[in-house]
Structure 1
Amino acid sequence: MLPTPSWWNPEERHAAAEQKSVHRLCPAQSSNLCRTPVVPRRRRCPHGIRNVPEADGVFSDAVFAIALTLLALDLKLPEGIAAAQLDGALINALPELFAYALSFVIIAKTWLLHHSDFALIRRFNSTLAWMNLALLFFIAMLPAPTSVLSEYGDDPTPWPSILYAANIGAIYLLLAGIWSYARHTNLMDPGMTAHVHRRIFTVRMAVPVVFLLSIPAAFALNAYTPLLWLLLLPASWLSRWMSTRSEQGSTAAKSSP
């Protein structure tokens, strides 16, 4: 009786198939002694583009939360105030309260915009990561000029207002830069239309324009410079109105024969 060939045995064929799935021949041709295990390689996206990781969002939220907490550290009255002097001390603390409220609103608004932006940004790269870190840098630094503004804002010097306006201007310029960069590098949701992106960008630029224009005006206005920041309300409304009119004009031009 002829011997049964090894390839006919089902058990040996199964073992050989498993061995081939675990090992592969190395480039040194067909030597059976030269086998290396197959290590699955992680697929990398071109140009360092990847999905937005959840850890980046958690880190950004932590920076915003710490900045909001540090703002409240300056809200305190001098020690040893008598009960009869409490009314005057509370009135004297109004500049600190105003600076705290303004910075709180700005950081909270920036946090909301940051969340809405990264809900639409689907992919991430190193440039966008550095832009986000620069934004967080100025967010974390905002309590410092807020403290200077509340402490020396009444003095006849422009520097408290200049430092504060420069910090806020940098924050909103970086927000607008992140928004524009993500759109032009195809990192954003494809469903974001061009006219919606342009309208949001135009509205956001109103804030840094007002704050940066107040910097040269501070040398003449000194302690009255924060009054210029009230122009944020009409400037934001005007930017929305202009963007809406531009969008309506482009829509009418496309619909006309």
Structure 2
Amino acid sequence: MSTAEGAGARATARYDRDSVEFSRAVAFFDAAYAFALTLLVVNIDPPPAEDWATPARWVTSGLGWQFFGFAVSFIVIAVFWRVNHRLGSEFTGFSSGTITANLVALALIVFIPFSTQGISDPATADEPLAVAVYAVNISVAVMAQSAVYLVARRDRLLRHPLPRRADTVNLIDAMSTPAVFLLSIPVAYLWGAEWGRWCWLLLIVVGPISGRWAARRVARIVSEERPAPPPAPSS
């Protein structure tokens, strides 16, 4: 085989679901998500010994925003992992494109512990830039994870591909999260970083509403595009 043919074979490599390569890739991605979750605890600085005297001093020692950042980012990364797990359960295999797309998304996931430091460190938590960096990090990560699905569809790696219109609806639903995070950036610069962070609580309302709308819309599209049953034979 020539060098060009070998490069072409590598570019179009496909690893079926029952292959060792598929299992190794899934294990690698899962381990990276777990590592990103573990790194979050590094952003929590143990308070001085005197601040362990009472719960009030312990909380006011600066741990408040650190615990806030840890909790928010733990939930965010856990949601990313669940979405990635759900996507992977629909894959019939991996292609070079889906592996590359997953690596790009993973790079943004493992960056979250760093951006979390900005919003949780008492020295930087009140800076609008800390909110902006974190919001952009999460927003771009959501977009990258959505791209994983689109690449898998392009490479025909989905067990149950949806109609194109349904994919558009799900993409709109996914973009509701970046919309909330990006909204927090101007809020942080206009009214302060604390208000910017509180904007993220809008996801508690926006997420379920957007999810229910998308689920109903997708179900309607699927039913509309489902082939009609053949007519019953006449007697």
Give the TM-score, by structure 1 length: 0.72
CA contact (8 A) 1:145 1:160 kept: yes
- How far the C-alpha of 1:238 sits from its partner, in A, is 2.8
Q: Once the two structures are superposed, what CA deviation does each residue of 1:3-29 show, in whole Å capped at 9, x if it has no partner?
A: xxxxxxxxxxxxxxxxxxxxxxxxxxx
Question: 2: distance between equivalents of 1:218 and 1:46?
Answer: 44
Distance 1:253 1:73, change over 3 A: closer
The one-letter amino acid paired with 2:15 is R
Aligned ranges 1:78-227 → 2 under 5 Å:
78-81=47-50, 83-84=52-53, 87-91=56-60, 92-151=62-121, 152=123, 154-155=125-126, 157-189=127-159, 191-194=160-163, 197-223=167-193, 224-227=195-198
- How far the C-alpha of 1:113 sits from its partner, in A, is 1.0
Identify the residue that residue 235 of structure 1 maps to in structure 2.
Answer: 206
CA contact (8 A) 1:142 1:167 kept: yes
Question: 1: distance between equivalents of 2:220 and 2:52?
Answer: 63
CA contact (8 A) 1:199 1:240 kept: no
Question: 1: distance between equivalents of 2:170 and 2:144?
Answer: 14
- Structure 2: gaps of 5 or more residues: 1-8, 227-235
1:65 aligned to 2:30? no
Secondary structure of residue in 2 paired with 1:81: helix
Identity of aligned residues (%): 26
- The count of aligned residue pairs is 211
Give the TM-score, by structure 2 length: 0.78
- How far the C-alpha of 1:85 sits from its partner, in A, is 5.8
- How far the C-alpha of 1:122 sits from its partner, in A, is 1.3
- Structure 1: gaps of 5 or more residues: 1-43
Identify the residue that residue 6 of structure 2 maps to in structure 1.
Answer: none
- How far the C-alpha of 1:79 sits from its partner, in A, is 2.7
Question: 1: distance between equivalents of 2:25 and 2:82?
Answer: 16
Secondary structure of residue in 1 paired with 2:143: helix
The one-letter amino acid paired with 1:49 is R
Question: 1: distance between equivalents of 2:118 and 2:87?
Answer: 31
The two structures, once aligned, show a CA RMSD in angstroms of 2.7
Distance 1:213 1:77, change over 3 A: same
- How far the C-alpha of 1:97 sits from its partner, in A, is 0.5
Moved more, 167-176 or 78-87: 78-87
Identify the residue that residue 232 of structure 2 maps to in structure 1.
Answer: none
The one-letter amino acid paired with 1:73 is V
Q: Once the two structures are superposed, what CA deviation does each residue of 1:105-140 show, in whole Å capped at 9, x if it has no partner?
A: 111111111111011111322222111111111111
Question: 2: distance between equivalents of 1:101 and 1:168?
Answer: 15
CA contact (8 A) 1:74 1:147 kept: yes
Larger Rg over CA atoms: 1
The one-letter amino acid paired with 1:96 is Q
Identify the residue that residue 48 of structure 1 maps to in structure 2.
Answer: 13
Distance 1:150 1:251, change over 3 A: closer
